Chains A and B, each alone.
Chain A
Amino acid sequence: MIERLGGLWGHLQGLPVFWLLLTLGVFQLATMIARRSGGFPLANPVGMSILALVLLLHFTGTPYERYWAGAQWLHLVLAPATVALAVPLYLQRARILRFAKPLLLTLVLGSLLAIFSAVAIGWALGASEGSLLALAPKSATAPVAMGIVEKLGGIVSLTAALVILTGVTGAMLGLWLLDRLGVKDPAVRGFALGLASHGIGTARAFQESEETGAFAGLGMGLNALMTSVLVPVLYGLV
């Protein structure tokens, strides 16, 4: 038995459930740290978990495919969870309809701002052309942003990375920033967060309240639509 200990790590590395367990365990730990920190914005469970697991894979030399073999089971649930957003949205239908005009106007301007601010800052700091195209749709949910960049002949994998970083930024700092700005209405907070930082921002919004989460889901869904129209059109102009 003792002589088999040497091969134990290799065996665990090849076990999909081991990575599933680690992902759940790390996330649980990150959630506990976030709670302990008393709402310190950088102590965000998603951000901390991603960082911890990236470091773990990096230093153990584990290929992402090995990790994915276990973690994909969680990823698979993401699509039905997105569909599940329809329920809180439906429960908020009266407020959504009442504020239809302000929401639509904010959507158009916010979507343009998300695209222009990222591209302008990147351009000013000397980002390459390929990176600028990957930055443009970064506020949209990952599959939409990747689809847009693929059609325009850009770097799809870089887009995915930037989309995730945008989501984590929104989840970490978004609600904290809105507190500083004195924005208290859960509908306004949620819509802005979902529009700018898609599903990861929406997940954060649900931790605040069901109403914040519902409006974040609305912002995410509408901005997916808006970005997929705007980016190709704007790209055709430049």
Chain B
Amino acid sequence: MLKGCIALLACLVVGEIVVYLLTLPLPGAVVGMALALGLLVWRGGEPPAELREASQGLLQYLSLLFVPAGVGLILHLDRLRSEWLALSVAVVGGALLTIALSALLLQRLVRRGGRTDD
């Protein structure tokens, strides 16, 4: 577990270094994720048990980790209040439309791909 956490933190810090040096428009965590994935592919086979444990432990509580930033909404209540109708319809409508159409498109493409493979 500790070794797994060290590996994840090391990937994160290297990700932050890469973002800083190359001035990428991405968060260090996303680059760190790509880096960790790259290392796992390069290594091949099953992922190390310690890493799997650490990863599962963290991802199990992923929802909880968004709560502190989410409570930050309180800082923007005035702005949200003044344009609440346009913003809430745009946020909810946009998100649902995107989820529905992306899923239907992908489902179609995957099924068609599956048929040509068989």
Q: Which A residues have a C-beta under 8 Å from some C-beta of B?
A: 23-24, 26-27, 45-46, 49-50, 53-54, 57-58, 64, 67-68, 71-72, 74-75, 77-91, 93, 98-99, 101-103, 105-106, 109-110, 113-114, 117-119, 121-122, 125-128, 131, 135, 138-139, 141-144, 147-148, 151, 155, 157-158, 160-162, 164-171, 173-174, 177-178, 181, 183, 185, 187-189, 191-193, 195-197, 199-200, 202-204, 206-207, 213, 217, 221, 224-225, 228
Contacts and interface: CB of A to CB of B under 8 A. Distances in A.
A84 B91 contact: no
Contact of A117 (B37, B61, B62, B98): B98
Contacts of B91: 118, 135, 138, 162, 165-166, 169
B25 A147 contact: yes
A94 to B, nearest CB: 12
A158 B8 CA distance: 31
Contacts of B9: 80, 83
A57 B47 contact: no
B118 interface: no
A55 to B, nearest CB: 9
Q: For chain B, what secondary structure do more than half of its interface residues adopt (helix, strand, loop), or is it mixed?
A: helix
B67 A84 contact: no
B85 interface: yes
Nearest to B40: A90
Interface residues on B, range: 35 or more
Given A81-B62, A105-B105, 12 more contacts: A81-B59, A117-B94, A125-B89, A144-B30, A155-B79, A161-B73, A178-B100, A181-B104, A192-B106, A197-B95, A206-B62, A213-B59
